[in-house]
Amino acid sequence: MAKPRKLRVEFRKNRSTRRRDGDLTRSLGDGLDAADDRATSERISGKGELTRKRTVVAHDPSGDRVDGLPVEPAAGMAWRGRVLNVHGLESHVQADDGRIVRCTLRRILRTVATDQRHPLAAGDWVRVRDGGDEGAIQSIEPRTTSLSRDSRGRRHVIVANVDQMIIVGSAARPDLKPGLIDRLIVAAEAAGIRPLVCLNKVDLVDPASLVPLAGVYARMGYPVILCSAVTGMGVARLQAELHGRVTAVVGQSGVGKSSLLNALDPGLELRVAEVSRDNEKGRHTTTTARLLPHRHDGWFVDTPGVRQFQPWQLVPAEVPSLFRDLRPLANLCRFPDCTHDHEAGCAVKDAVADGLLDVRRWESCRQLAAGDEPREEEE
């Protein structure tokens, strides 16, 4: 086991005590003897109670993709568990013996400055110290994988420590959004998560109309499954991919994620809702990501529906490498720093002109590399 090391961490703003007491006279009151107990000087450097930084003991991170807050647990007995869901400052954690404990976050984990919108995510492995019917999360173990998106300049970790991700799109009601599927695949590739493409509600259209789009992803080696939670089409094929794996189910609202999970395991009995007849948009039935054990010896991660998805901190120069169909062509460009947009001698643009590369995939790559956030109607 790696030796713990000391780190200097910074707290978030507005989460520390006031730097100066503004009511010194009133606090003394009539008892002048209390002045003897007050500090007679103040360090200009801001050490002690006035500092916004603190030294903590943390595990030495190892591996290329490590995040989370691996702070050493406080002294005392702590057991290891997996976070099932997160509701604000409270969460439910399952221990190895199967019991589920409602937990709160240790204060240092809530106040330490990070780029994350919330320090905890469904799927995290944590150390918990019992306090009767409730527990306190003492540390968050480093994550092996995490699916993250940009949320107003901060990192929103949707789910952590998953093996694969089923990207669900609907053939109709609501309409299929290939651009959203592209962005989710790129996020999965960047995070080291295996993506699977599932086109649901094929009972509402002619399945032959989905073959061109399915063929684009299938040629790149991504499993593509045409499904219907109503007729049962493709359900057995999906079940074969679930054994012994932690699988996140992601897609826009209304594509039938909960209905599909009920078809894969009827014992889940998840709540479902009809798509709005007014705007053909889905209604949220899942409000937070949650881990659900299923009968195929694995876990589902049911996630809230997304209408827009901006992957977290993509490097523009690395975006083409996350597109499997563009990756081999990008190495043939005339210039090594080619953006595949306006340069002469671009092998990617030549492949688009010759019909060897899907033009929509090229446009998705350009939009992501430019850092443009998609509008819902463009997806």
DSSP-derived secondary structure for 101-170: EEEEE-HHHHHB--SBSSS--TT-EEEEEEETTEEEEEEEPPPS-EEEEEETTEEEEEEES-SEEEEEEE
Helices (H), the chain: 24-28, 107-111, 178-191, 211-219, 235-239, 257-264, 327-330, 347-353, 359-369
Please write the tens of the pLDDT for every residue from 108-155.
888 876 788 889 999 999 999 987 778 999 889 999 999 999 988 889
Residue 336 has pLDDT above 60, yes or no: yes
pLDDT at 106: 87
pLDDT at 88: 86
Task: For residue 183, give Cα distances in angstroms to 229, 297, 309, 353.
Answer: 24, 29, 7, 23
Please write the tens of the pLDDT for every residue from 291-335.
999 999 999 999 998 888 999 988 888 899 999 999 999 889 999
pLDDT at 305: 86
Please write the tens of the pLDDT for every residue from 173-229.
888 999 999 999 999 999 999 999 999 999 999 999 999 999 999 999 999 999 999
Query: ∠ CA(126), CA(168), CA(327), 5° rounding?
Result: 90
User: Percentage of residues in the chain with pLDDT exceeding 70?
Assistant: 74
Q: CB under 8 Å to 177, separation ≥6 — which residues?
A: 169, 252, 379
Residue 3 has pLDDT above 70, yes or no: no
Residue 340 has pLDDT above 50, yes or no: yes
Domains along the chain with CATH numbers = 1-20+51-143 (2.40.50.140), 159-302 (3.40.50.300), 316-378 (1.10.40.50)
- Contact between 116 and 155 under an 8 Å Cβ cutoff? The reply is yes
